Amino acid sequence: MVTTKSAKIMKKAEEVIPGGVNSPVRAFKAVGGKPVFIDKAKGSKIFDVDGNSYIDYIGSWGPMILGHAEPRVTAALKKAIERGTSYGAPTELEVELAELVIDAFPSMKMVRFVSSGTEATMSAIRLARAYTKRDKVIKFEGCYHGHSDGLLVKAGSGAATFGVPDSPGVPADIAKLTVTAAYNNLASVRKIFEKDPEGVACVIVEGLPGNMGVVPPKTGFLEGLRVLTKQYGALLIMDEVMSGFRLCYGGAQNYYKVNPDLTCLGKVIGGGLPVGAFGGKRKIMQMLSPSGPVYQAGTLSGNPLAMTAGIETLKILKKDGVYEKLFASTAKLCQGIVEIIQDRGAPCQLTNVGSMFTLFFSEKPVKDYKGAAACDFEKFSTYFGRMLKNGIFLPPSQYEAAFMGLAHSKVDIDSTLAAIDKSLKGL
Ligand SMILES: *Cc1c(COP(=O)(O)O)cnc(C)c1O
């Protein structure tokens, strides 16, 4: 595989952009090697500047559920671009996307659009604090909610402890307000509430965690969070930035039947353009400026191009049988992977929910962050590198989910399985 052009661009990039990239995982640091620079993408395929083509399982980290450059989305965007790219004044498109979102999420009566998932979670937490008049936030080890100060905290291992920042630049005084619990462990959450029954504003949880690799909630875990938050007067925020419109037409809350107070969205609802959203109960949402006192704003929020891509994407996803088709093809791929693991006796665990999956290099099933952190990262890196050489573009980290899209074909699945079989050899 020739990657000379990518290498050349990376050299220039490192001079002008920290680490050469605008979002850290893209640099391939976790897996060694250098990133490939992308030229274009179409359907299930992505092409680098050296002309290599890959079957893409990153899908822009989730948004490209329809595949790249989907013709209907592209056509709508072309039309929209001729009408101007941003107005700083409201459009009917925002209302249309809001109605589509609310229609898919029974827990959401009102929604506000922002430009990223980070903004969505950050704003939802501000709102939860204002509504409850409390300051503390409970989050889970291994759950990612964007990079705002108070959420860049995962705390020490094991028992819930007061947060220490994951990054320099996050003041300890801010991190202190984030208390971390163990995922899939209700007792760890209860303990925090018992210690400070009137201090917790909200619990924030990923609808289906994908940011430690795919780790599904145990039966009763999300329901238990709902009960505990109600009992202690805290809000439940489901961060469905990744799981929204990924697990079904709706989110993990429809799939697992939970009724949160606030929901955060992003990724799929922007159809590949920058969008985030948060919404929930009317009484809470009406506290937002300008109908209420909680300030939140954005120059490009509700951007007409982003709304257009989102609307077209949801309209396609809303059609009958779409998710069934997507899940069936993912199941086919995943069954094939499991067979290869068994044939080769590979030390791997496959986790799959809907169209998301992670191949963990672990002898034991992965149930939480500790389990994910105990994986064999060296083996994962070798596997990743081999897969890339075989034309398969996987997320370059063990702590990530791979995404299947509607554009992946039977031929893609067969090629992927052949590559996996080769790549797992000797691991
Ligand atoms: C991607 C992601 C975010 C952050 O979204 P950005 O658009 O990258 O800011 C937040 N929460 C979850 C669950 C995510 O997967």
What pLDDT does residue 153 have? 82
Asked if 204 contacts 237 with a C-beta cutoff of 8 angstroms, the reply is yes
State the CATH number of the domain containing residue 248.
3.40.640.10
Is 388 strand, coil or helix?
helix
How far does the centroid of ligand 1 lie from the alpha carbon of residue 267, in Å? 7
- What Å distances lie between residue 369 and 68, 159, 209, 283, CA to CA? 31, 13, 10, 35
Claim to verify: residue 26 and residue 159 sit in the same structural domain: no
Claim to verify: residue 55 and residue 147 sit in the same structural domain: no
pLDDT < 50 stretches in the chain: 155-161
Claim to verify: residue 308 and residue 332 sit in the same structural domain: no
State the CATH number of the domain containing residue 358.
3.90.1150.10
Last residue of a domain, one of 317, 340, 360: 317
Claim to verify: residue 239 and residue 379 sit in the same structural domain: no
pTM of the complete model:
0.96
Claim to verify: residue 172 and residue 232 sit in the same structural domain: yes
Please list the active-site residues.
144, 239, 267
How many angstroms separate the CA atoms of 118 and 121, rounded? 6
Mutate to test the pocket of ligand 1, among 267, 268, 278 (most ligand atoms within 8 A of CB): 267
How far does the centroid of ligand 1 lie from the alpha carbon of residue 242, in Å? 7
Last residue of a domain, one of 255, 287, 317: 317
List, for residues 96-146, the tens digit of each pLDDT value: 999 999 999 999 999 999 999 999 999 999 999 999 999 999 999 999 999
Tell me, using a 6 A CB cutoff, whether residue 241 lines ligand 1: yes
Count of domains for the chain: 2
What pLDDT does residue 168 have? 87
Tell me, using a 6 A CB cutoff, whether residue 285 lines ligand 1: no
> Which range marks the domain in which residue 171 is found?
71-317
What pLDDT does residue 156 have? 37
Tell me, using a 6 A CB cutoff, whether residue 239 lines ligand 1: yes
Claim to verify: residue 263 and residue 227 sit in the same structural domain: yes
Claim to verify: residue 63 and residue 185 sit in the same structural domain: no
Q: How many CA atoms lie within 13 A of 309 on its CB side?
A: 28
Ligand 1 atom with least separation from CA of 23: 8
Q: Report CA torsion sign: 145, 146, 152, 157.
A: positive
Q: Report CA torsion sign: 369, 395, 266, 9.
A: positive
Claim to verify: residue 88 and residue 62 sit in the same structural domain: no
Mutate to test the pocket of ligand 1, among 211, 238, 262 (most ligand atoms within 8 A of CB): 211
Claim to verify: residue 48 and residue 92 sit in the same structural domain: no
What pLDDT does residue 163 have? 57
Last residue of a domain, one of 317, 333, 366: 317
Claim to verify: residue 287 and residue 340 sit in the same structural domain: no
Claim to verify: residue 399 and residue 259 sit in the same structural domain: no
Asked if 372 contacts 360 with a C-beta cutoff of 8 angstroms, the reply is yes
Tell me, using a 6 A CB cutoff, whether residue 144 lines ligand 1: yes
How far does the centroid of ligand 1 lie from the alpha carbon of residue 152, in Å? 12
Asked if 66 contacts 410 with a C-beta cutoff of 8 angstroms, the reply is no
Ligand 1 atom with least separation from CA of 116: 7
How many angstroms separate the CA atoms of 353 and 268, rounded? 17
Claim to verify: residue 305 and residue 324 sit in the same structural domain: no
